[in-house]
């Protein structure tokens, strides 16, 4: 359907509708109460935000991504599905699967939404996926109730578009992964929602940088007993000689009874370091990242750091994984395929403990019959043992039996003894 017909669908404005534009982020982004402007790019200049976004984006991008098929025995991986190489290897000619997922995940963590253009063939099968910038996307609803995506193209970020300006995409032409939102249609930016915390982090970093740029000395005033004809010249000459890290610890020479009086608060008195540490934890709390993963090891030890890592997978990473899986299945699988196939990001490797714990768990599973040798070897990324050598056998201890059969052998022996010879 052409642009004209789409605009005709959207012509009526007298009905309630859901709409969300990338430009609407500006009512959330902007100047924080600390006075620092906060947007998606200035936020990424803070080490805490960059670290949290990088941790989650790389974690999701590095997970094995496969397509599975439901079978009578459970599930099996389907490597020959047309969608498999697109998701697992190359979503498009310019990106690997890792880079594509890392890019979309960073969009999701900064803007609260991730979008990609879906290229399909005549039968509706997916041929490629291309990222779209969230701040240029508007999600709207046509009068017939169908969701449409309106992308404002003003640069060469996507060569599949031949024109500039507003480009309309139907729901089947766009992959949308929304974050936490209020209406279920779009997500809201974590950075925008926590702009005061991010702004304070920026203010702390700028204060520290300016403090050292000033020679690690707080501000002060020069007092003169008389009347200065040109105070600006005195101030400039003082700054030229004593201001900056290169001029730190120089001996000041004061003339004509002039005195220097400090008026700034030294960082240690303002608890500067404690404030910076708190703000790092504040950003980590925003993204639910364990402090030890952003470099704060104060409350971490050998006894709890592994548990914190497992909690990161279960409570932080897993919700994002589910968002990805369900969004990919909804947008990429054909309607008739959804009953037979599903897409899964495998986090099992991240949930494994240390070597000794894994071996103990495997031994328990092997001895109690719910895992075979090949099941264990698959989890450890080892080649299977041939079936004729017993690789797929399920074993149990011979001294274990059902409660109702307890004493069965003893009764049989007694019955044999009582039988007449």
DSSP 240-299: HHH-SGGGTTPPP---TT-EEEE-SPPTTTTTHHHHHHHHHHHHHHHTT--GGGGT--TT
Report pLDDT for 209. Answer: 67
The pLDDT, as a whole number, for residue 16 is 38
pLDDT at res. 419: 57
Instruction: Please tell me the distance from the alpha carbon of residue 133 to that of residue 51, in angstroms, as a whole number.
Output: 21
Residue 150: strand, helix, or coil: strand
**Would you give the DSSP letter of residue 356?**
H
Q: What is the per-residue pLDDT for 3? A: 40
Decide the pairing of beta strands 126-132 and 137-141: unpaired
Cα–Cα distance measured from residue 100 to residue 107, given in angstroms and rounded to the nearest whole number: 11
In angstroms, rounded to a whole number, what is the distance separating the alpha carbons of residues 48 and 204?
Answer: 12
Q: Which two tokens stand for residue 363?
A: 């031994």
State the pLDDT at residue 353: 64
Check residue 305 and give its pLDDT. Answer: 75
Please, are residues 308 and 318 in contact by the beta-carbon 8 Å criterion? no
Spans of all domains in the chain: 1-217+268-351, 220-263, 353-421
Q: What pLDDT, on a 0 to 100 scale, did the predictor assign at position 115? A: 96
Quick one: which of 86, 66, 88, 89 has its CA closest to 78? 66
CA distance 214 to 209: 9
pTM for the full model?
0.72
Tens of pLDDT, residue by residue over 111-123, are 999 999 999 998 8
Instruction: Please classify residue 335 by burial: count the beta carbons closer than 10 Å to its beta carbon, then call 0-12 exposed, 13-18 middle and 19+ buried.
Output: exposed
Q: Which two tokens stand for residue 140?
A: 């709207």
Distances (CA, A) of 392 to 1, 76, 77, 107, 165: 55, 16, 18, 44, 60
Q: What pLDDT tens digit does each residue of the chain (421 aa) get?
A: 444 344 443 433 333 344 445 434 444 566 666 667 788 888 888 888 999 999 999 999 999 999 999 988 788 899 999 999 999 999 999 999 999 999 999 999 999 999 999 999 988 899 999 999 999 999 988 888 889 999 988 877 777 777 888 899 999 999 999 999 888 888 988 988 888 888 877 777 776 666 666 554 555 665 656 665 556 666 676 566 555 545 554 555 555 656 666 655 555 555 666 667 777 888 888 999 988 888 777 766 666 777 778 888 889 999 999 999 999 999 999 999 999 999 999 887 676 666 777 888 888 888 888 898 998 888 887 888 998 888 888 888 766 666 566 666 555 555 555 555 5
- Per-residue pLDDT, 30: 61
Cα–Cα separations (whole angstroms), residue 351 to 228, 307, 318, 356: 71, 10, 11, 14
């Amino acid at each position: 359907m052409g642009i004209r017909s789409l605009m005709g669908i959207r012509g009526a404005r007298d009905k309630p509708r859901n709409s969300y534009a990338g430009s609407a982020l500006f009512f959330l982004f902007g100047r924080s109460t600390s006075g620092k402007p906060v947007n998606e790019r200035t936020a990424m200049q803070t080490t805490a935000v960059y670290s949290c976004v990088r941790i989650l984006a790389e974690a999701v991008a590095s997970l094995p991504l496969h397509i599975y098929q439901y079978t009578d025995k459970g599930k099996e991986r389907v490597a020959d599905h047309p969608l498999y190489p697109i998701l697992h290897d190359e979503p498009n000619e310019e990106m690997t699967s890792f880079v594509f997922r890392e890019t979309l995940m960073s969009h999701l963590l900064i803007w609260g939404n991730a979008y990609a253009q879906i290229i399909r063939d005549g039968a509706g099968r997916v041929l490629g996926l291309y990222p779209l910038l969230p701040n240029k996307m508007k999600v709207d609803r046509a009068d017939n109730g169908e969701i449409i995506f309106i992308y404002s193209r003003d640069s060469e970020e996507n060569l599949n578009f031949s024109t500039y300006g507003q480009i309309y995409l139907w729901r089947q032409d766009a992959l949308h992964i929304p974050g936490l939102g209020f209406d279920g249609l779009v997500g809201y930016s974590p950075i925008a929602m926590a702009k005061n915390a991010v702004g304070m982090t920026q203010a702390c970093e700028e204060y520290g940088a300016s403090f050292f740029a000033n020679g690690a000395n707080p501000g002060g005033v020069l007092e003169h007993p008389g009347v200065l004809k040109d105070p600006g010249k005195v101030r400039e000459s003082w700054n030229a000689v004593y201001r900056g890290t290169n001029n730190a610890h120089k001996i000041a020479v004061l003339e004509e009874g002039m005195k220097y009086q400090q008026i700034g608060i030294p960082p240690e008195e303002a608890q500067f370091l404690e404030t910076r540490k708190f703000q790092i934890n504040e950003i980590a709390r925003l993204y639910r990242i364990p402090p030890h993963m952003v470099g704060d090891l104060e409350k971490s030890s050998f006894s709890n750091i592994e548990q914190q890592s497992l909690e990161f997978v279960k409570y932080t990473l897993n919700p994002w994984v589910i968002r990805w899986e369900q969004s990919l299945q909804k947008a990429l699988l054909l309607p008739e395929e959804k009953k037979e196939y599903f897409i899964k990001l495998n986090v099992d490797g991240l949930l494994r403990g240390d070597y000794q714990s894994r071996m103990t768990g495997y031994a328990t599973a092997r001895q109690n019959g719910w895992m075979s040798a090949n099941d264990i070897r698959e989890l450890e990324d080892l080649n299977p043992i041939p079936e004729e050598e017993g690789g797929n056998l399920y074993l149990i201890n011979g001294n274990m039996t059902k409660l109702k059969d307890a004493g069965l052998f003893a009764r049989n022996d007694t019955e044999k003894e009582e039988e007449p010879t």
